[in-house]
Structure 1
């Protein structure tokens, strides 16, 4: 569960959580809006396109562009006046068309907003559940703490500016273009120790690091609208293009506990893989079981001294015979070559 708190001033308006946080509070993924481009009182109708790439001189130009997608509506193929200086192609849709070339400054108070994270993890195999509210956390501590890596490692309240710095990002740049920040909560628990030793570890990173390196679509933004109706039933809306910092709370956990049966199985598997199992079995069978003599008789062949001496004599006889054969060999220096000459 997540919750954001803070107030900011934007376009001469005071904005609270309901204005700048989307979607609604409590999700593990939420956005804090830093900048808005507002197009008010849009109604269904016909109007000139606002983008420069749809500038035209005649209807023929717009008819050629009809195959290209428009950002604000369906092209009609007509060239109409955008203002006193130039014309653009006409669209059918929500009018007037959005103009997002004028970029307002971001809401600077966002840096001091706070994020409250309430997290718990369960390891069903061990029937163990733990939350990030440690025993020393009480209402007094919550009201005055902010997370840091030195003195408040387990405080569940995070300043937006601190989170961005921990992720090694610049707040001003991120507030202008938007981005995605990951808040990682890792639970690595040794359940053989006391329950209080199982504590969360927080880390922070930018998840869309590649988007900041491209000029095509840098940062993070989205559009949404607020719809209204006039007394005569005509529907109109306010279109908002929001630049935001999106926070993704990512939780992972790993727990372990000593168990005799898996330990024995793993030891047997390890011994078998290196051949130790065979040696251990032989030691046990040859020395500790009742049938050790029978196993030893099958395992080994006993040889007497007289048998060994007779074998040695046989080997000496063979060596002498081979030596005699070698001394009787005759050698010739004739290479076997001969020449063919003319007989006289």
Structure 2
């Protein structure tokens, strides 16, 4: 019974912390320094400079690209539509677009083809069973009837040597095949073409929207960029090699939007080259074809096409970023969590008293 009463009495006991006032300049100065430092960090850096009083939302939006300009070239590559020895090109001729990218042609090759038989043109010793069309060494055995290869479907015949002494497998398909050694026709003036890049973003959490149209005003470096500007930002020199090979670049708009200041968004614009200039597949090119048949055929009887291989600048636009706006709950939560760090000052001061002061045994 006595043991039971003792335990019952301890259950209703109350324990409190006894405070000790320590007269120490060292501990007092350390404690005040920590309190000031933690308060400055929480209030000054985390809360104000770090925008701890604002809630955030991820950017959701769309990108549209419009290209304008005129270019010209010599009347080569079998071009028929020339005036005074010059062919003039516009954006309809030279630009292809998707929702968030644009391809601007800087050089072209043009091959007029019909469905018939001709010599293959591709030699690939690394994969002789699929794409190799060179039968100089292997003769008829190197060509297999009805085998799909690089330029078409082989007939099984090995054609006589050409002017260079090379024998090629005969193929059925679009003939003549492309000449990989043919130099593309360079287009002049494309570097001055302009891209109007329009960003439209929405912040669903805050019910706000923003765009960079700037009313109806075009601003160079804000929503209007020339091809030369974009390549310069990517560190790519505009020269004949760049025009002949093409280049693939990524243009990123990273938005930092402060909606407390009248929906102000500041994009950080960076441009990087994404193809490797030193790799086997450097540059960028696309192929398109224009088909003609019967009365529309301007070259021959039957089905024909103009095959265009276009080299140029591929600009891919990436939109990222976030928006910020004041929120009382967020501000109170972050400020309270930050000020809770003040307990660190008490812990450090207690450790100094217990472990470092000369009279520490008196306070333990």
SS of aligned partner of 1:108: coil
The structure 1 residue matched to 2:119, chosen from 34, 43, 48, is 48
Aligned-pair CA distance for 1:198: 2.5
SS of aligned partner of 1:93: strand
TM-score, normalised to structure 1's length? 0.66
Higher mean C-alpha deviation, range 225-234 or range 5-14: 225-234
Matched with 1:18 is: 92
Mapped partners of 1:240, 1:248: distance in 2 = 22
Matched with 2:181 is: 101
Judged with a 3 Å threshold, the aligned counterparts in structure 2 of structure 1 residues 201 and 271 are, in CA distance, closer, same or farther, namely closer
Matched with 1:207 is: 274
Larger Rg: 1
Matched with 1:235 is: 303
Aligned-pair CA distance for 1:134: 3.1
The structure 2 residue matched to 1:2, chosen from 65, 72, 85, is 65
Higher mean C-alpha deviation, range 29-38 or range 98-107: 98-107
The structure 1 residue matched to 2:284, chosen from 220, 227, 241, is 220
The structure 2 residue matched to 1:169, chosen from 236, 240, 249, is 236
Name the structure, 1 or 2, with higher relative contact order (CA <8 Å, separation 6+): 2
Aligned-pair CA distance for 1:186: 2.1
Superimposed CA distance per residue, residues 163-221 of structure 1 (whole angstroms, 9 cap, x where no aligned partner): 111111111132121111222222101222233x333332222122xx2121x211111
Aligned-pair CA distance for 1:108: 2.9
Mapped partners of 2:248, 2:140: distance in 1 = 43
CA RMSD, 1 decimal: 2.8
Matched with 2:168 is: 88
SS of aligned partner of 2:150: coil
Matched with 2:317 is: 249
TM-score, normalised to structure 2's length? 0.63
Aligned-pair CA distance for 1:104: 2.6
Superimposed CA distance per residue, residues 95-127 of structure 1 (whole angstroms, 9 cap, x where no aligned partner): 111112111342131111111122221111111
Higher mean C-alpha deviation, range 10-19 or range 259-268: 259-268
Aligned-pair CA distance for 1:238: 1.1
The 8 Å contact of residues 132 and 199 in structure 1, kept in 2 or not, is answered as: no
Judged with a 3 Å threshold, the aligned counterparts in structure 2 of structure 1 residues 52 and 82 are, in CA distance, closer, same or farther, namely farther
Q: Check if 1:61 corresponds to 2:142.
A: yes
The 8 Å contact of residues 230 and 236 in structure 1, kept in 2 or not, is answered as: no
The 8 Å contact of residues 181 and 205 in structure 1, kept in 2 or not, is answered as: yes
Superimposed CA distance per residue, residues 72-116 of structure 1 (whole angstroms, 9 cap, x where no aligned partner): 112232101363544211112111111121113421311111111
Gaps of 5+ in 2: 1-63, 76-86, 125-132, 347-364
Q: Check if 1:117 corresponds to 2:197.
A: yes
> 1:123-202, aligned counterparts within 5 Å?
123-134=203-214, 138=217, 142=218, 146-147=220-221, 154=222, 156-172=223-239, 173-195=241-263, 197-202=264-269
The 8 Å contact of residues 118 and 177 in structure 2, kept in 1 or not, is answered as: yes
Mapped partners of 1:276, 1:224: distance in 2 = 69
Mapped partners of 1:228, 1:55: distance in 2 = 31
Mapped partners of 1:101, 1:227: distance in 2 = 24
Matched with 2:38 is: none
Mapped partners of 2:255, 2:166: distance in 1 = 61
Matched with 2:104 is: 32
Judged with a 3 Å threshold, the aligned counterparts in structure 2 of structure 1 residues 269 and 36 are, in CA distance, closer, same or farther, namely same
